[in-house]
Structures are given as structure tokens and as C-alpha cells.
Structure 1
Amino acid sequence: MAKKLGDLRPVYVVGIGWHRYQDASDTPYVALGLASIREALADAGVAWPEVESSYVATALLGMACGRPMLRHLGASGGSLLHIENASASGSTAFRHACMEVGAGLSDVALAVGVDKPAKVVRGESQAGIASLAGRAIVPFTHFALLTDAYMQRHGVGIEDIARVAVKNHHNGARNPNAQRQRTRTLDEVLGGRRVSGELTPLQCCPVGEGAAAVIVASEEGIRCLGIDPGRAVRVLSSAARSERVYPAGRGFDAELTRETCAMALEEAGVAPGALDIVELHDAFTVEELHYVEGMGICPEGQAAHLLREGAFDIGGRVAVNPSGGLIAMGHPIGPTGIGQIGEIVLQLRGEAGDRQHAGARTGLAHMVGVGAVCYAHVLQA
């Protein structure tokens, strides 16, 4: 029977760092990435030569971008792996760093995500097989249709769905690493042009640039390097799935999330109701509602009502996207999944400042990539 992360030796996040997510600028990606790595190293109290392996996540920068960045830290000879997995690139890099440490192949590893906006050709465009609908159903149209379907099925209005953005902009306004740092009213979120259907720009995530990094370590690494164990957060589980054929009428995004998060929670031995923090993929507002239902945090059709009551606010039943989520924190692609891990670690340490969710002990990070892959991690203080 295949082993899971929980079957291996314990793995901990011991250091976290960011370069703020921001609009496109002239800042080289090397400077973005180095800022996050140096912050993570300082947070862990670890010197660069003590990092045995590095996983570099990027979706937009092209081939072998890690070497020109990491060489500024010193030629340590540690192994280096580049990972591209669309929006889930950072989550994938984190999973592999955890598996390497858990398997005992190394005691200290780095997962870093960095990206800058670029014109990227998706692999399917070079597959040599024509797509019947690929050009017609672009992401924002897909999620606009899901928004309409959710409203019709559950008898809610666009105001109910737009409250996701109001909440997440409020959280992002208190996050110094967020791309969008401005509180928005419901009228502001619903105002202005329509991107597609009922979706407005403030209900959609911005794609900018930035970086996020985490250091993961074994218990032996923590002991040998004198890392403070009181600030180490354990990674209880890691789950990954890809899309399959689902029953008619079931959205593949939500079903893939349902399967993957169920695996991660079961492996961790954590019930959905025991989660204190959830960082999830909310590139569009309706996603948050679909995914909290898919995770089992609430019954299907109830997310909009609980959102209205404040259940998903910081200080509510479970803080969903206290970072601001993709909608306010931003979605620079490569760093996004790693930045989610960093936010959960901040919360579980009790170091999130005025974004702190009181008593946070257990968190789940969730990412999907072009609808085809899903990753989920459960962490606990």
C-alpha cells in the first residue's frame, strides 16, 4: 500500500518569507525571489549553506530560472528542482520539499515561488489537436457561468456572492504583503464594468508579480541547527489529485476539491469542523463558496448564508482567506500556494497581528491549477 506524508518522519515549516505581491514593475525576478528567501532564512535562523535542497516554483519565467537567483546566495551545491504546475506550482513545490524531508533524503529544504507577468503559451495550444471550445470558454466566462448556476440553484443573489470579495479585500487591507490593500464596500465591489456575466474586476484576482518562500525541516534538522521548536509548525498531510470524469451536473472544480481535501483531512485525522484557518483558491468569488462546501465546512448551498453571518471572517467560525486570498493578496501564480502556507504558519504561531484569528491551531491550504490538478495540505501548531 502506498505511503502518505503522515507515514514518513515528521516535517515542519520553520521559516517563512515574502516579497510583497504587486503590479508589474521593473524589479528583476531575482530580486523578488531573493527577498523572500532571505526573509525565510532569517525567520528560521538558518544559514543558506545548511539548506540541502531547493524547489523553485514558477509558471511564467521560462526554463531554469532558479540558478541565476540562487547563485547570489552562494554556490552551496545543494540539489535544485524547477516545478511548473500552473496555479498550483507553489503548492507542488511545497509538497515535494516536504516529501524529501519526510523520506529522510534531507533535513532542511527550501520551497520558493517567484513570477513576473509574461506572455505564456499553454501546452494544450501546442498539442496538435484542435479544441472545440477552448477559445470560447475562457476562465472568467467559466466562472461567470458557475456564478449564475450557483445563484439559480441556491436562491441567492450576486450580492451574496460578492460578499466574498468584500471580506477578502478587508483582510488584504491589513496584510502588508498583499497586492490589493484597500477595504471595499459591497457597492464598490459590484460597481463598474462587467468582466463576464455578473463578475466585476474586484470579484476577480489580479495577476501581478512577487515571491514567497518557506523552509521545511525534520526534527533532527531542528535539533542540530538550534531552530526554535516552539515556532515550528507541523505539516500533517499532503494530498494531490488530477481531474477525472465526474457525474453530469457536477462542476469539476468543486468535485476535484472535494476529493483532494477529503484525502488530506483523513490523512491528518482532522474533521472539517476542526479547521481554524483555510487558505483557498478564490481567483473568482464563487470559488470560495464552492470550495468551503466541497471541503465539508458547511452543507451544500449554505456557504453564502454563513458568509453573510460572518462565519468565515477572522474571528468567526473559521477564518477563510485571512491573507486576503487571491482576490486581494494577489495571484502571481508561482508564489501563490507557498504564500498560503506562510499565512497559515503566521496564524498558527499567533503572529498575524491585526489579522490574527484567535486560538488558531489547525489550517488547510488548497490550490487548483487550470482546473486539472488540486493540492491540499493540513498544518497544525
Structure 2
Amino acid sequence: MSRTVYIAGVGMTPFVKPSVSPSYISMGATATRDALRDAGIDYADLQQAYVGYVYGDSTSGQAALYDVGLTGIPVVNVNNNCATGSSALYLARQAIASGAADCVLALGFEQMSPGALQEHYADRPTPLARFIDIAEDTPGAGNAPMAIKLFGSAGVEYQARYGVDDAVFAQVAVKARRHAEHNERAVFRGQVTVEEVLASPRMLGPITRLQCCPPTCGGAAAILVSERFAKARGLDARVAIRGQAMTTDFGSTFAERSPMKAVGVDLTRAAADKVYEEAGIGPEDLDVVELHDCFTANEILSYEGLRLTPEGTAARFISDGDNSYGGRIVTNPSGGLLSKGHPLGATGLAQCAEISWQLRGEAGVRQVDGARVGLQHNLGLGGACVVTLYEKL
């Protein structure tokens, strides 16, 4: 990876409930047009496109982009569960850094259905079988929906290991709503209290309904360019990707039958460590983080996996306010998956957009003062974790 890669433009649709969602074609095309406009280039300038979605037929990426242009460029469709958007970003960055291209689109979208996540094929093995088997060791997990079963079990294990009160988990949900209040693209902007979060229906272990990300529809996109292309076109090259890593599961994911490990603690830590080493920038240097908070339990696990705070200290990190404005690192200023929403294929690129706006000083009321270094963390079970470190030049 010899060439620096720059984020020249980003775009993102409002995230909405499935009941009012446009089609995936509309959302994908809109996000692409917004990113092209932000970058100040035309569709004809793109040399490749990587398009991510989880629920959709093959070549849905082409269907969305054909509404924007028909230029014959290669379009690669990507599906890596909830890490799909950042997997598209990872591939786009590789194309630029390797010299294979100078201007590449990473696009993600999702048109979801109401209700809990479901697998669509009943006539073949589920790729999450070994993960679910571990989670079902947790009392009460058997009848829970798939994602709640997995992340709720991890929350139960974390509580048992470190003695953390239910209210700590609820505080994460309260913070997410507080941050989303000023994000016009977020699906949930209404404020909640710890008491309201704890009083919402219990799902599994410490997780209540208001601690679960909602089914969401939306699209997000990023234009990645080389330094040569940016200089030739006079593009905005203030935001650079300084490090990026993708990891998949290790033997440790399953060997200890630990729900925490089954939901990606080791993947997250390994990816983060690779990124810090590549960038020469450590967690102590971060100003803003967009991390994968599909459930409050995973935000807590991710604090420690990303080395924002030592193992077992997330409760103090939260109670001291170190995860918000005025603290050490502002986490999920967008509202995160919990409040901004989680359209699976778009999530990683929405995180990229938020970090880019923050580093460019364009985040409005939710701007993190003086933000120069940002980290993005996107996790998909089954499994994939992508961590990306950005720096303002």
C-alpha cells in the first residue's frame, strides 16, 4: 500500500424507518450523486465502483448506479453482513493504494424490512451456526431473536466478568440519543432517560428494547482518490486514510465458548492494533470515533477492543463522560447505529461520511472541536471487522 488515499467527497441520505423508505435504487443513486457533488467531479470520472448491501439480489449495485450513469466501469457487489459498507471502502482503498485506479466509488445501501433481522434461507446451513451455538449457552437466550441472542449473551458475560450494573448499559443509549438530536439524517432524535431505557421491554440480560439499533433504510457513499488525481483536478484532499485493516475470526473466537469473543472482541482488537501500527498513531491521539454500536453491549465491548480504555474499565469511561463532548474521545457523534440507524450495507460508509465531516469542520452543532484524527469501526458477524483511521492534513 504505497499510495496515500484521500476522501474527496461523501454523501448520505437521511436514514428512515422501512415504512417510509424509498427504493434501494433511489437511495443508492442519491447518495452517489451527493458524493460526486461534494467531490466536485462527474460520474464519468469514476474508474471503479464497489457497492455493498446485505438484503438484495445480485447486481443490485449496478441497478442503483445505472440511474446515475452508464460508463462501462467495473461494478463489484459486496456482502459482508453488517461490515458490508466498510468492506466496500476497504476494497476501494486497495484499488487506489495499489495503483490500479485513481478515482473509485464506495457505495452502500439497504432497504430493510420491519422487525428483527432474519435469515432468508431455511434450506441450507446458516453461516452463523457456530456463533449461535455459543450464545445459546446463556440462560434465556434460546427464544431471543438472532442478533439479540448474540449480543445480549455478550452483555451477560461482560456483566458477570466485571460486575457492571444495568444502568451502565442504559447510559450508552442515552448518550446515543443525545448526540443524534442534532443529526438531521438520524432516524431517532428524541431524548430518553436512563430510567426510560431500563423500563423498556427486557430483551436479554442487560439489554432492553431501547438499547437495540432499529431496522433502518438508507444509503451512503464516498469518493476515494489518489494524490495525483486530487492535484490534477484541484480536489479537496484534507482527509486522508492513514491506516486500515480487515480481520476475520480467529481460533479464539470459538475455542473458549465466550459470547464476547463470538461477537468480535478479538477481531476488533487485532484490526485496531494493525491500524495503529500502520498509521503510527495510537488511541491516545484520537479525537473522534464512530464505532459499531448495534447494541449497547457492543459499544462497551468496542471501547475496550479499540483500546480507548483498558479491559474492564468501560463503566468508568462512561461515568466520567470520556465517551462524549468535553471528555477524552467523542464516540458516535452521529448518534451511532443505536440512534442514527443501521441500514446494514450503508452503515460503514455513513461512518466514513461522519468522520469526514468532523475532520473537515463541517459537522455543525455536533462538531468535535479541533478534530484532526478519527477512527471508524464496523463489525459484521460471520465474520468481518474493518477499522479505518483518518487524519486531517
* TM tier, smaller: over 0.9
For residues 270-311 of structure 1, the C-alpha deviation after alignment (integer angstroms, 9 at most, x for no partner) is 111111111111111011111111211111111111211111
Unaligned runs of 5+ in 1: 1-6
Q: Distance in 1 between matches of 2:184 and 2:386?
A: 26
Q: TM-score, normalised by structure 2?
A: 0.90
Question: Contact 1:166/1:183 (CA < 8 Å) preserved in 2?
Answer: yes
Q: Distance in 2 between matches of 1:67 and 1:241?
A: 27
Q: Give the equivalent residue in structure 1 for 2:91.
A: 96
Question: Contact 1:60/1:120 (CA < 8 Å) preserved in 2?
Answer: no
Q: Distance in 2 between matches of 1:100 and 1:170?
A: 38
**Residues 1-381 of structure 1 aligned to structure 2 (within 5 Å):** 7-24=1-18, 25=20, 27-118=22-113, 121=119, 126-127=124-125, 131=129, 134=133, 136=142, 138-229=146-237, 232-246=238-252, 248=256, 251-252=260-261, 253-381=264-392
The offset of 1:67, in angstroms, is 1.8
Please provide the CA RMSD for this pair: 2.1
Identity of aligned residues (%): 34
Inter-CA distance 200–27: structure 2 relative to 1 (3 Å threshold): same
Inter-CA distance 323–244: structure 2 relative to 1 (3 Å threshold): same
Matched AA of 1:22: V
Inter-CA distance 300–124: structure 2 relative to 1 (3 Å threshold): farther
Q: Distance in 1 between matches of 2:362 and 2:206?
A: 37
* Secondary structure of the corresponding residue to residue 66 of structure 2: helix
* Secondary structure of the corresponding residue to residue 378 of structure 1: strand
Matched AA of 1:51: L
Q: Which moved more, 1:69-78 or 1:340-349?
A: 69-78
Q: Which moved more, 1:258-267 or 1:68-77?
A: 68-77
Q: Give the equivalent residue in structure 1 for 2:139.
A: none
Q: Distance in 2 between matches of 1:279 and 1:184?
A: 21
Inter-CA distance 164–371: structure 2 relative to 1 (3 Å threshold): farther
The offset of 1:129, in angstroms, is 9.9
For residues 28-69 of structure 1, the C-alpha deviation after alignment (integer angstroms, 9 at most, x for no partner) is 111111111111111111111111111110001121002222
Question: Contact 1:112/1:213 (CA < 8 Å) preserved in 2?
Answer: yes
Q: Which moved more, 1:148-157 or 1:102-111?
A: 148-157
The offset of 1:124, in angstroms, is 9.3
The offset of 1:122, in angstroms, is 5.9
Q: TM-score, normalised by structure 1?
A: 0.93
Matched AA of 1:331: H
